[in-house]
Every structure is written in structure tokens, then in C-alpha cells.
Amino acid sequence: MKKTITLGALLMASTSLLFAAKSIAGSWQQNVNIGGFSSVNIYTPDSTSAIGDGKSLMIVLHGCVQPISNYLTANLEDAAEQHGMVIAVPDAMNKAGYSCWSYWQGAINRTSGDYKNLINLANAMSGDVTRDIDPDQVYLTGLSSGGAFAQQAACVAPDIFAGVAPSAGPTLGTSSNGALNTCEVVTSSTFKSRCESYAGSYSNHLDDQIAVVGHGTADTTVDTCYNQQNANGYAAVYGVTQLSGTNTLADDATRTASETLWSNNRVAMIWFDGLDHSWSGGAGASGQYVAGNSINFATYLGQFFADNNLRVDRNAGPVISNHAAIDNTGSLLVSGYAVDAEGSVGNVAIRVYALDSGAPVLMETINTSAAPSDGYYSASSATLNDGLYLVEAQATDNESKMGDIASFTVRVGPEPAAEAPVISGISVAVVGQCATVTGTVVDANQNLQSVTAAFANGSNSATVSNNAFTVEQCNLPGGNNSVTVTATDTTAMSSSESASFTIDAGQTGDYNYHINEGHITWGSGYSACYLAFGTSDFTMREYPAGTSQCNWVADGEPSCKGPNQACSVPTTPLDSDGDGVADSLDNCPNAANANQADNDNDGIGNVCDSTPDGNILDADNDGVNDSIDNCPNTANADQADNDNDGIGNVCDATPDGTIADADSDGIEDALDNCPLIANADQADADADGTGDVCDATPNGDFACVEYTASNYSHVSAGRATNNLGIAYAVGSNDNLGLWNIFITTTLAQTSDGYYELGSCPAN
């Protein structure tokens, strides 16, 4: 069976073509030094991924003789913006001949060459909170030698790469001879064995990795046999079977491709119609080994990976609807519906908060169930004092996934006399020249109309959720600032509160300006700043960098920073409430209390403590304080805990204890020297604490060996390669000089198939 799917329908669920409109809002950073690579082009979109937490990341590896700048015209921005996907294109550090990624030479492991660099690049980017990258959405793709290297790197580090997509790449483990015109046959079982051996103790992460392979139908450089061969290899690794039929993908009438899928969409094979040996960039793509006569492969990958990623938690949790509460002569009758689309609702937690004091005070937690038929739940609170209450409901499903909180505000007792809304707890957070103001507003009459904040450069309306408000204002002037927050109800009654804060406007100029001002030096900061901004102006701000030290960092480019040095302006402790006690020490930083009185010694000053004389929370009403209750949400006055694990029997999945033994070899995981692979004998030949069955070097670490010989002899012995009359060390790609019998060099073999120029390190 064959069916046609336009990428517009596939990716946007509409009849419009995928690339009919082009909206590029993000930006490229070029030649960034990061993760062990000296030059990486990075595109960061304004959008975020439709799944998971934050943006995804796709690392794209270039082909032989192909500069990374070619991918600036490959339409990668389209994929980035449509799918909230950061794109990183690194220039290989340890290149083989013709500037190829050296997939056929050198050690293939996590600590060698560009395999190590790719892992470091992925971790550096996903670990940088300012980039907002979800580590469960990191993918690797590449063209030609980059495609082959991507295959091997994804096997080496399947824990890092959730998906891999080689395009026109020879099969992993093949030689350089197999790259040009001939097909080097690799059986599926050999592919599987190689991939799993590269992964070593990380091979269990192959269980939730996915793959796409692609090849141009008009490729006369790399044999097209590799497309099916690579797909079959991944199918063997993942244990899936090819499905019948194909799908036709189309950007438009002339740019098409065919798609074959394997079970559970673990593997997809793409044939790019009419494409030669190039990256398929879609309409308008151009450059050396970049072509536009088939679909945009990156956009396809963005959708495929988002649809089929196995590592992102897609369980949204139960949904609450029609949540409400009514006063029933002093208590609250609470009801609503909780429905879970993926499973069933296990519990509905209802929390009742008193609001009259400003900050919500938890009065009661009620756990109830939802009817299996329609999800209806209902419960009654304890008797409450007259006042205003917030009633929240949150449901948990059968997989312990919590849904969003639904809330309802209700009054118990008679309506009070008209009074103005009350503002409290104002706090200001400053980032750059933006200030975010938060606080609490309580309107006893429940007729709040607006909350506005007046700044030096204008006013802005706050968003209000329950009793909490937040408002942001940017482009504020540097220096001392203030904000006045005003809450107004429908009868025009209002109240206001103010707060002070300081804005650092930064200093702006080109790299020469910042050097002259001492923000950066020629030895510290200049290179990174010049790579990021060239001769353009950029803004830097001073940030604390340890005890009495500061450094200057450029806006939007953390790699552009100066050395640690004395702060230009001595910092004074922030004292928001002006009571003479620094915020960092103040037990009530937003309400003046110079005496720091704290009757119940809970770290919260009396003036902002809703229970200044102490309060015992007991959510399950079993007479045991929540702070010491071994099952705080389920009543168990006896606190029985058979296995002494700190979890009460009534809420302990294994109340009588259990021994974790993931590989079922009879050895507890905590003691097992190879907890994921059965090895009852616990053999460990090199006594390094890692069992032989999962130890990449079971007989001990590789002993470094030195070889001193002519460059001609090194090449003849396979310790070096010859490219255009220059000898290069295998693995490290170190330049040894002219390939002849006259030049003598020393090579250190530091691992199997990996040589470096120089001597072995001293013991």
C-alpha cells in the first residue's frame, strides 16, 4: 500500500503547504567555542518544543570538505522555529583526510576524540539553564562522514542522544574505502553487535532511542545500499520489524520523498527523490553539498522526533472541570469532575486555604475518589470560621502523575462591609533592565477589578491568579527605581503599596571599549567576545563572582566574559523593608521588623507568619504532625513501618521490604558490580569495581606504548595516515610533518587504535 502525505498535512494538520510561510524570529551565533569544539554555529529559536520541558536540541554534523557555514543556508531555521529546536553545527576537531569526521579511524568510545566532544557539547548546552534545553530531547544527525559518525556516536552515548538520523552515511564500523561508490556489506546482526559494544554499560538506553535514515535517490558518491542496510541495522538493535507500504512526503509538487516505517515508529527510512550527495534542505536551500530539490529533512526530523520520542513524559495527568465549592452552614461542599485520558484517576486531593490574612493558610486537606463512570467527586470540609477561602483540587492518576490544580474562591458566613483590596508581600526580581513584581492582593468583597503597577517609564497591568499578582516592565532606566502597585475594586475603592529596587543598565560599546573599561582583557574575554559580536557594539553587566569579586558578562552570550576582579562598585546588602536587617538575614524581608521576633522559632518573623505561635499541620487527621508523619496524606496513627524504610506500611508499595536486583542474578543492585547484566560470579579481573561482563577493559586499563620511527614507517605500520604528503596520527589526527623516511617522530598509543604525538605520560 502506498499513500501520499504532504508535509503540510503531516506537520501542521492543515491543507496549507508546510513552507508557504516563513517566520524566522530567532538568531544564529557563529563560531562559538563550546563543549570541546572551537567553532560551533548555533541557532536558537524563540519557540519551545511541543513536548517535554523547554526546547529540543539537534546537532548536525557536516560532510567531508564541507564548511559548517554551508548550513547557514540550509533552511535549518525553519525546523528550529516550527519545533522549538535549537540547532548546533560543530566543526570537527579531529578530522581525517578531506576534513571528514574520522569515523573509520581512532578509538570509538566516550573518552576519545570527537565522541567525547559531542557528549560534552550536548551536556554543556542542555545543562545551561539559559538555553532552556530539555536533556530528554537531544538528537544527532549528519551528512556523509558526519552521518556515519553520528551513527557511531549515538551508539557510544545512547543515554545522551534520544534520536539519531544519518543521511547518506556509510554504515557504522565500515572503512574509508566503503564511502566511495562501493557498498561495504554489514549484516544486521553485526550492526547490532557493534552498536551494543560501543554502548557498553549504557546499552540499556538503546531501548528508548529512535532512528531515521535518509539517502538521495540520485546519489552517485556514497552507495545507496547503505540506506536500507542502516535501517535494517537499527531495526535489529531496537527489535522492531518493517511495516508494509510507503508514504509519499511532499513540500510541494516537485519536492518529494518516500517514507518507510518500522513497528512503533522506532525506525523510519527516507528516500529523497532526485537528491544527489547533499543535505536535503527544501525550497531555497543552497551551498556546497546542500540542495533544495527534495523535502526539508530537518523539518521532517523535528516532527518525527517530537511525535515519537520515548523519553519525554507524555502523561498530562487528570483534568479537573466544573470545580466548585458552596457554603453549607459553616462547612464547604466541594464537587467537580476529574478525568484521565490515558488511564484512571487514583485520588483527588482537595485543599482548603484561609485567605483573610493575606498569604493563604492551609486549613485542611481532603483526599477523595472520582467515580469511574464520569469522574465526579464530592467532599465536605470541617466546620470553618467565617471568612474567605480558596479551595483547590488536584487529581492523581494510576501512574502517580498529578494534573493541573483547579481553584475556586468562596466565602463562609455573611458578606463583610465594603472595603478596599489589601496588597501585601511585594517583591521585585531584577534581570537586566527588566523588573518582575509579585505580591498578594486580598479583596474581602470579591469585586477586585484591576491591579496596576506604575514604573518610571510607564504603567502596566498585573495578572492575578487567586490572590497572587505578577507584572513585568522592561527597558527601565539605570539606577534607583521604584514601583507603586495599586489594587482597585468595582466600586472604585483602592489601596497602594510601593517598593524600591536598583537597575543595572550595563555598559555598551565594541570590544575596544570594553577592553579600555577593564571589562575584558586581550587575554581573558577578547577572543570569545570578538567571535560572538565582531566589531559590533554589545552590552556587558557586572555580576558577583565570589567573595569580594565580580566579572563582566555580555548580555545573551555568557562565553563573552572578563576575568574575576574587584567589583567596580562595592555591593551593599539589599534591605527591601528598610528595617536595618539585610534581606539575606531578615526573617521577614518584605515587612519591617527590626526586632526579628519569631515566637515559634520557625524562621518566619511574627509580622509575616500566619501562625506566629506555632501550628501543627496534620493533613490526614491521624494525630501525628506532618513533619514527623511517615505517611502524611494517609491516616496511620500507629505509624507502623515493617521494613523501617521511613515510609509507613499503608503507603509503602513494599511494606515488608524488597531487594532490588535489576538483572535477576541474585546479587542486590547496591552490591552488584554490574547491576544491569547478570553475573552471579561477580568476576572482576582488574579489580576496578566493574564486573568483567560490562567492563570495556576487563583486564585493566590500556598500557601506553611509545613508537619512535620515521613518518614513513608510522604510516606503513598503520599508526598514521598519509594525506597529500603529510602524515597524521591515527585517532588524534596530530600533524607529524612530511611523509618520508627522514622525519622521525615519537607516537604514544594511549588506547586501542589511538595515537598521539609525543611520549607516554609519566606514571
pLDDT in tens, 573-608: 566 777 777 776 788 877 788 888 887 776 778 877
For the ranges 292-306, 459-473, 654-668, the one whose mean pLDDT is highest: 292-306
Q: How far apart are CA 428 and CA 449, in angstroms?
A: 23
Q: Strand, coil or helix: what is 373?
A: coil
pLDDT at 571 over 70: no
Say what percent of the chain tops pLDDT 90.
54
pLDDT at 556 over 80: no
Q: How far apart are CA 680 and CA 641, in angstroms?
A: 31
H-helix or E-strand spanning residue 109: none
H-helix or E-strand spanning residue 38: strand 37-44
Q: How far apart are CA 304 and CA 302, in angstroms?
A: 6
> Which of 19-28, 30-39, 643-652 has the least mean pLDDT?
19-28
Tell me the per-residue pLDDT of 505-533, one tens digit each, with 9 for 90 and over: 889 999 999 999 999 999 889 988 998 89
Mean predicted confidence (pLDDT) in 550-564: 85
> Who has greater pLDDT, 441 or 762?
441
pLDDT at 493 over 90: yes
Q: What is the pLDDT of residue 103?
A: 94
Tell me the three cell numbers of residue 333.
Answer: 461542599
Q: Strand, coil or helix: what is 467?
A: coil
Residues 6 or more apart whose Cβ sits within 8 Å of residue 81: 23, 24, 25, 26, 45, 46, 47
For 201-250, the DSSP string reads GGGGGGGG-EEEEEEETT--SS-THHHHHHHHHHHHHHT--BPSSEEEEE
Residues 6 or more apart whose Cβ sits within 8 Å of residue 401: 313, 315, 316, 317, 318
Domain boundaries, the chain: 2-308, 319-412, 422-503, 507-566, 705-757
> Who has greater pLDDT, 701 or 449?
449
Q: What is the pLDDT of residue 8?
A: 42
Q: What is the pLDDT of residue 194?
A: 95
> Which of 115-119, 222-226, 394-398, 623-627 has the least mean pLDDT?
623-627
Which amino acid would we find at residue 288? Answer: Q
The reported pTM is 0.56
Q: How far apart are CA 593 and CA 32, in angstroms?
A: 49
Q: How far apart are CA 615 and CA 357, in angstroms?
A: 15
Q: Strand, coil or helix: what is 524?
A: coil
For the ranges 2-16, 190-204, 675-689, 732-746, the one whose mean pLDDT is highest: 190-204
Range 7-13 contact pairs with CB under 8 angstroms and sequence separation of 24 or more: 7/249, 7/250, 7/251, 7/295, 7/296, 7/299, 7/300, 10/249, 10/303, 11/82, 11/299, 11/300, 11/303
Q: How far apart are CA 62 and CA 143, in angstroms?
A: 6
Identify the band that residue 216 occupies on the pLDDT scale cut at 50, 70 and 90.
Answer: very high
392 to 281, 317, 435, 473, 620: CA distances (angstroms): 50, 16, 30, 30, 16
630 to 326, 365, 536, 648: CA distances (angstroms): 33, 17, 60, 5
Tell me the per-residue pLDDT of 258-296, one tens digit each, with 9 for 90 and over: 999 999 999 999 999 999 999 999 999 998 999 999 999
The upper half-sphere exposure of residue 215, i.e. CA atoms within 13 Å in the direction of its Cβ, equals 23
> Which of 169-183, 462-476, 631-645 has the least mean pLDDT?
631-645
Q: What is the pLDDT of residue 77?
A: 93
Q: What is the pLDDT of residue 616?
A: 58
pLDDT at 4 over 60: no
Q: What is the pLDDT of residue 663?
A: 79
> Who has greater pLDDT, 28 or 160?
160
Q: How far apart are CA 149 and CA 140, in angstroms?
A: 10
pLDDT at 557 over 90: no
User: Among 3.20.20.70, 1.10.3720.10, 3.40.50.300, 3.40.50.1820, what is the CATH number of 2-308?
Assistant: 3.40.50.1820
For 292-336, the DSSP string reads -SS-BHHHHHHHHHHHH-SSS------EEEEEEEEEETTEEEEEE
Its CATH architecture, for the domain 422-503, is Sandwich (2.60)
Tell me the per-residue pLDDT of 350-377, one tens digit each, with 9 for 90 and over: 999 998 876 788 999 999 999 999 999 9
Say what percent of the chain tops pLDDT 70.
90
Domains 2-308 and 319-412 share a fold: no
Q: Strand, coil or helix: what is 177?
A: helix
Q: What is the pLDDT of residue 546?
A: 64
Tell me the three cell numbers of residue 367.
Answer: 483526599
Phi, psi of 342 (to 5 degrees): -90, -20
Q: Pick from 314, 305, 308: which is nearest to 80 by CA?
A: 305
Q: Pick from 312, 356, 350: which is nearest to 133 by CA?
A: 312
Q: How far apart are CA 630 and CA 634, in angstroms?
A: 9
Q: For the chain, report the end-to-end CA distance as a whole number of angstroms.
A: 65
Q: What is the pLDDT of residue 90?
A: 97
* Opening angle at CA 344, ends 342 and 345, nearest 5: 120
175 to 480, 548, 568: CA distances (angstroms): 66, 56, 58
Let me know: does 573 contact 562? Beta carbons within 8 Å: no
Q: Buried b / exposed e across 207-239, counting CB within 10 Å, b at 16+?
A: eebbbbbbbbebbebbbbbbbebbbbbbbbbbe
CA diameter of the chain: 102
Q: What is the pLDDT of residue 405?
A: 92
Q: What is the pLDDT of residue 89?
A: 97
Residues 6 or more apart whose Cβ sits within 8 Å of residue 181: 220, 221, 223
Residues 6 or more apart whose Cβ sits within 8 Å of residue 547: none
Let me know: does 57 contact 137? Beta carbons within 8 Å: yes
Q: With respect to CATH, is domain 319-412 assigned 2.60.40.10?
A: yes
pLDDT at 570 over 60: no
> Who has greater pLDDT, 385 or 179?
385
Let me know: does 484 contact 454? Beta carbons within 8 Å: yes
Q: How far apart are CA 147 and CA 165, in angstroms?
A: 7
Q: What is the pLDDT of residue 523?
A: 87
Rounded to 10 degrees, the C-alpha dihedral 637/641/647/651 comes to -70
Mean predicted confidence (pLDDT) in 422-432: 86
Tell me the per-residue pLDDT of 95-137, one tens digit each, with 9 for 90 and over: 988 899 999 988 999 999 999 999 999 999 999 888 999 999 9
Q: What is the pLDDT of residue 5?
A: 47
pLDDT at 671 over 70: yes
713 to 216, 467, 729, 739, 743: CA distances (angstroms): 40, 79, 12, 9, 10
Tell me the per-residue pLDDT of 318-353, one tens digit each, with 9 for 90 and over: 999 999 999 999 999 999 999 998 899 999 999 999
**For the packed helices 188-199 and 145-156, what is the interaxial angle rounded to 10 degrees?**
60
Phi, psi of 146 (to 5 degrees): -65, -35
Identify the band that residue 192 occupies on the pLDDT scale cut at 50, 70 and 90.
Answer: very high
Q: Chain-wide mean pLDDT for the chain?
A: 87
